[in-house]
Structure 1
């Protein structure tokens, strides 16, 4: 064959495609039959065509390939170190340490870890200047990012670590020392916020920091600052890809306006919201597609969730399965071979543009009405998230939103009461708070509690 295959076929316009579809529908209404609306208010068409597509600028997809990460809670130094060394040996390229007590011997925690080849993330559960200073003493680390988010802590717990002024004062010192700051967007997704809300709140959240730090940092410090977004990825495959791409575009716009470094790090984990206690092996399928969305959307670091994380304590088997899912995606499915694979997809480009536009409009509304922190204190953000979560919960309860093994094709012989090592439901812990906290809640909780009560009654 000497001629390109497709040169012999005439181009078909979007108008011609629509006319053909309309004819095949035999009088049925095109809009009502084939166009559906997402919870974000986006109308999804049955096809997309280049002659009606506006292509966005490349949303600064990272040059380097994505990294496989494992999260380790540091309860005992020696145990945490042993888990980290084993994880790296078996394929992890970065480690995230969650540290409840910052007064630890960092050298013991990082023993036998090659810092020149392993990226490190530290999430502190309290503010600590001494720990941040100790990070600066590490010898030639590849990447070290400290995840400190005082507004995120307020949103999650309902209280500041200490007080607003004290937190901001310490936060400023930590930012200058670590040259990084972190924004926890995953909280909003796990609490039930839709994607437009997640993007708008991420933007308004980081804008609060930029506003405060604007007079605290020099131009050089602003350009050297690394912003990390911690996001949760749900099961709406193409929408989640577009969400991550839209986040990069939106962040670039805000960062440019302040004169900050306009590239960000995106640290992605699967959502907790759709994970189930019963038929728990389906969680592996959910986390696989969610990690795929994260990779194709351009996340820098992907940290998978073990299939049994909601009801089992941390265990070697669960961690190994979660890590191996990412290893298969990276080395056997070649998800690291193509840069920005979603670019040029008419559907994903359209979703990216619409999510970005709607989120930007919501962000501007938040700023016009006092900003994110003000609306958080007044309960407006919480109310909006609760409205979105209630809508999604109603869809699950009615069977419109399906979780296989729970509200569709449940296994009546599946008993879980004897498997619970962790309490898998929202914990009621009455306490005095400055604001109403944003509470993460899984969709299946009410249905699972009813099944557990039935088990225990037998």
Structure 2
């Protein structure tokens, strides 16, 4: 097909547009409302404008080489070594290019994990060609720390060249201490142990990296992007200092530290966070007198965004997280299977996690361009804001005496707790929506299959001589899921869930919108909504409520219908022995009269849904 010059004119036929023209159009739509209504904010208070001009003079952030795919990592975490080995071999045969060996007691184990014994390590790695270019990442905890040594011994015992094995050993006592909220040893006692392991592995010929600065600690605990970045910087610098004290030059130490970040479903923030880390680490290297080299950055899709309810939505969340981390320059990505919050994932869940990356790499070609976000006004601005705020917090941690000292002073934990509290409030009020958990629930969803596996019990690790506030992992959906679990238990024991009667007033045109809202609202808490055809007669309404077997009711209709019928309807429901009456919508000027008629609570967008649901449970018990 021949393309003519006229066909290429496109935008040339339209008048040029500028920001001022756009603002005039926006102001017309806002009708006097402040423009700031369109300006969003991150959990760190960073502003996100609705539109940005193109960034001028922006250069790509140095990271993963252009046209080089990231490593497709697959979790190996089955407590049974033979089963874990079979899973690992299957993953490598079907597209994975690396394995994340998650040992019991590691920060990322989430209840399961590999057996760290030497016999189990040998079984897990049996038949895997470790020197054939696959990536191996170890996630270990204090109780499973010897797994790193066992892996090294296995490789030497097989006669393999350690330098030919791409292994990240994941030494991270700082991350473990932060999660546990304690340590048997002071930092001055930890340093010799870390450096001894580093020197020993380096002497064997392993090229590393060896120590991990793990930002998941902060993200899993509900922290912000700035807090996660600052934690990674502080941990990385602490390990650099420790390695240098062992007589290793900073140039050699430079390649012994790598970072791990969480990738979540917030596309722009995740993408900007990965870019920001590289710029921040380059600044650290320059401050150390080093020539900056691209930091190896591994990504795990976020634990805290996983839901147990409607877990298939987790596939969408993981896809967005992987997309963002990949475009942000991650060197390796591990996708948490969509059923991990329910238990040990089955083959289908593992396949979906693996194929998420394969599709993005092989079909969407995401790795073909290096830093494709470079020059984007929004991403460049957000990257810069994250850099500035994270560097400031990193300096605060350094002034406190470094990361371990900052943890002892609870400096980081206080900031994370404050961010988590705001995040939990937004979840409770459904400002931040979790599809399938806090919105659009399905009370009749089928049971999801997971493997039947018994977690490994590990021996305690030392006396907690140094105690501080812990940063345990959390999931945002957990409070709503606790109510759903309670509902399932009641269904199993009593044969029925708690119910709420939707007292729809008027015609479908009047009540459908709010009845739909109320049904979703109450069923997120496991309270089954009994829908109705609509009532004009209070007597008929009361009779239908009595026949429903429900203890509580919710009035649903338009404001116009409420003005005409709500008070009489509420009085009729109260006379029919309704324990509690809700109304879908804001009360407005009618509130006093409605409450006098028996309405106890009002449900509406932005209200504290979780608190009302917890109260509703008390009314139905």
Query: TM exceeds 0.5?
Result: yes
The residue aligned with 1:122 is: 138
- Worse overlay, 215-224 or 295-304: 215-224
Match of 1:406 in 2: 437
Are residues 242 and 163 of structure 1, via their aligned partners in 2, closer, same or farther at CA, if it must alter by over 3 Å? same
Match of 2:271 among 241, 252, 255: 241
Distance 2:266 2:83 in 1: 37
Contact persistence 2:88–2:99 (CA under 8 A): yes
Unpaired runs of at least 5, structure 2: 104-114, 203-207, 455-459, 492-621
Q: 1:204 to 1:135 in 2, by over 3 A?
A: farther
Contact 1:122/1:147, CA 8 A, preserved across alignment: yes
The correspondence for 2:481, drawn from 440, 448, 451, is 448
CA distance in 1, matches of 2:176, 2:470: 9
User: Deviation per CA, 1:36-90, whole angstroms, max 9, x where unpaired?
Assistant: 222221221121113xx46554321211321111011263443322221111001
Contact 2:240 2:253 in 1 (8 A): no
Return 5+ residue gaps in structure 1 as ranges. 424-428
2:78–2:453 CA contact under 8 A, matched in 1: no
**Paired position in structure 2 for 1:305:** 336
* Structure 1 CA distance for aligned equivalents of residues 434 and 279 of structure 2: 32
User: Is the aligned partner of 1:152 residue 2:182?
Assistant: no
Give the structure 2 partner of residue 21 of structure 1: 26
1:221-271 CA distances to partner (integer Å, 9 max, x unpaired)? 536523221211122111110011001110111122224563211111111
CA distance in 1, matches of 2:337, 2:448: 19
Matched, 1:37 2:41: yes
Question: What is residue 426 of structure 1 aligned with on the other side?
Answer: none
Let me know the Cα RMSD of the aligned residues: 2.8
In structure 2, the partner of 1:59 is 61
Residue 94 of structure 1 contacts residue 118 of structure 1 at CA under 8 Å; is this kept in 2?
A: yes
Task: Tell whether the 8 Å contact from 1:256 to 1:262 is kept in structure 2 after alignment.
Answer: no
Alignment partner of 1:171 is 2:187: no
| CA distance in 1 between partners of 2:151 and 2:347 (Å) | 30
- 1:293 matched to 2:295? The reply is no
Structure 1 residues 89 and 132, CA, compared in 2 at 3 Å: closer, same or farther?
Answer: closer
Structure 1: distance between partners of 2:58 and 2:256:
24
Partner Cα separation in structure 1 for residue 88 and residue 289 of structure 2 = 37
Deviation at 1:135, TM superposition (A): 6.6
Measured against aligned partners, the alpha-carbon deviations of 1:153-194 in whole angstroms (never above 9, x if no partner) come to 111122336664443212102223244211111121011001
In the superposition, relative to structure 1, how do residues 295 and 241 fare at CA in structure 2: closer, same or farther (>3 Å)? same
Counterparts of 2:42 and 2:254 in 1: how far apart (Å)?
Answer: 38
Structure 1 residue 321: deviation in Å?
1.4
CA 11–106 in structure 1, closer or farther in 2 if over 3 Å, else same: same
| Mean Cα deviation higher: 307-316 or 101-110 | 101-110
Equivalent residues in 2 for 1:303-342, closer than 5 Å = 303-342=334-373
Q: Distance in 2 between matches of 1:381 and 1:422?
A: 35
Q: Matched residue pairs, number?
A: 449
Question: Please, what TM-score do these two structures have when normalized by structure 1?
Answer: 0.89
- Compared CA separation, residues 132 and 77, structure 1 to 2 (3 A): closer
User: Which of the two has higher C-alpha Rg?
Assistant: 2
For residues 280-327 of structure 1, what are the alpha-carbon distances to aligned partners after superposition, in whole Å with 9 as ceiling and x for unaligned? 111111111111111111111111111111112232221111111111
Say whether residues 1:75 and 2:71 are aligned partners.
no
Taking the aligned partners of 1:80 and 1:71, their CA distance within structure 2 comes to 9
